[in-house]
Amino acid sequence: MYVAVKGGEAAIANAHRLLADRRRGDRSLPSITIEQVVEQLGLAVDRIMAEASVYDRSLAALAVRQARGDMIEAIFILRAYRTTLPRFGYSEPIDTAGMLVERRVSATYKDLPGGQLLGPTFDYTHRLLDPSLIGDEPVAAPAMKEPGEQAMRVSDILDGEGLIEGDGQMPGGHVAGDLTREPMEFPMPRDLRLQALARGDEGFLLALAYSTQRGYGRTHPFVGEVRIGEVEVELDLPELGFAVSLGTIRVTECQMVNQFKGSAKQPPQFTRGYGLVFGQSERKAMSMSLVDRALRTDEFSEDIVAPAQDQEFVISHADNVQATGFVEHLKLPHYVDFQAELDLVRRMRRDHEAARAGQANGMKEAAE
């Protein structure tokens, strides 16, 4: 028999009304605008876009405002919204070599074409709270300088000497899979793994990446380069017969260079991990590239000895919308399940008591 329990409508309505009140906060303070969130909390907006897997700065800002700053809730809201939109198609692959670079650093070469461009970085700040930001003091305009040559890709420099493996190739005839269209299956090819990692939880990927550095699946990494900037998105229009540009998006790319592999057929060369993320998120792109390399055990015949190398473990747990859904569902009513467990534990205790009593009797009889 199944008995549905109803009720709580009024409580839920009032709870949501209270949520709206707390979200607005002190009414004597001005409400924050979507534009302000986009402009002044841009990296929060970027993280929401990356992990919701939807590039739209305004919608991400709306989501984080609606979520009172709860990032995973904001990601959830944006992820849910995307399901209401039709899919127009697949873009041409973006060309990160042609990026309008805002930051590009390499840890492998000091002097390289394009140079080390620091861009708007937190690196080299002292991480001291800045009391001047309590107020609204004027901010100096950026310095300007004549631009130099185009920033060359570091992997191309090494590739010229054959010292590094090429950009990733899938087996001939392989069509890139799409996680939003097909259920997950393992083993999962690298293209699908990259899609999952690109929208994976930053904290989870950071922890896994860190674990590889601490020895759980070590890969001896160097940052070949990290670059941040705008790339063009082009969509093929069948009605016209050519691809047109839809505008630009900002992405972060990390080329991780890892220690060598060789075989009887091939001389030793550096291997690679790749990270590509919506928005400005160096930490995420670097973590992604470390985890991507760690997961390529099948290509390099490496033993799976650490969590970061186990693709089923990594990919199945990287999505924070799925994770929060399953963890948080535990707080929903489980009254009937729990009642059954209660009955069970009571019965087990009765049996246990009876068995002990029987044992005690038996011992008494034996002693007599």
Partner 1 sequence: MNAQHTLDTAPGTAGRKEGMRLLARATLAELTAAWEAIADKPDVAPVRGPETGLVMVRGRIGGGGDPFNLGEATVSRATVRLSTGEVGHGQMLGTDKERARYAAIFDALFQNDAHRPAVEALHGLIAARLDREDQRKAEETAATRVDFFTMVRGED
- Show contacts with partner 1 in window 154-213 (CB under 8 A): 155, 166-170, 174, 176-180, 190-192, 194-195, 198-199
d(CA 138, CA 133): 10
d(CA 24, CA 178): 38
Footprint on residues 313-342 left by partner 1 (CB under 8 A) = none
Footprint on residues 239-268 left by partner 1 (CB under 8 A) = 239-240, 242-249, 251, 253, 255
CB of 73 to partner 1, least distance (A): 19
Site string for partner 1, 112-151 (x = CB under 8 A): ---xxxxxx---------------------xxxxxxx-x-
CB of 244 to partner 1, least distance (A): 4
Q: Quick one: 56 or 282, whose CB is closer to partner 1?
A: 56
111 sits near partner 1 (criterion: CB under 8 A)? yes
Q: Quick one: 20 or 235, whose CB is closer to partner 1?
A: 235
DSSP annotation of 305 reads -
CB of 1 to partner 1, least distance (A): 45
Q: Are residues 215 and 99 in contact, defined by beta-carbon separation less than 8 angstroms? A: no
Q: Are residues 196 and 318 in contact, defined by beta-carbon separation less than 8 angstroms? A: yes
43 sits near partner 1 (criterion: CB under 8 A)? no
Q: Which tokens sit at 18? A: 């209270």
Complete edge-to-edge strand list for the sheet that includes strand 100-105: 100-105, 222-237, 242-261, 269-278
Footprint on residues 81-100 left by partner 1 (CB under 8 A) = 82, 85-94, 96-100
232 sits near partner 1 (criterion: CB under 8 A)? yes
Cβ density class 19-47: b for 16+ within 10 Å, e for less: eeeeeeeeeeeeeeebeebbeebbebbbb
Q: Quick one: 195 or 211, whose CB is closer to partner 1?
A: 195
CB of 169 to partner 1, least distance (A): 6
280 sits near partner 1 (criterion: CB under 8 A)? no
d(CA 198, CA 50): 7
Cβ partners under 8 Å of residue 260, min gap 6: 268, 269, 270, 271
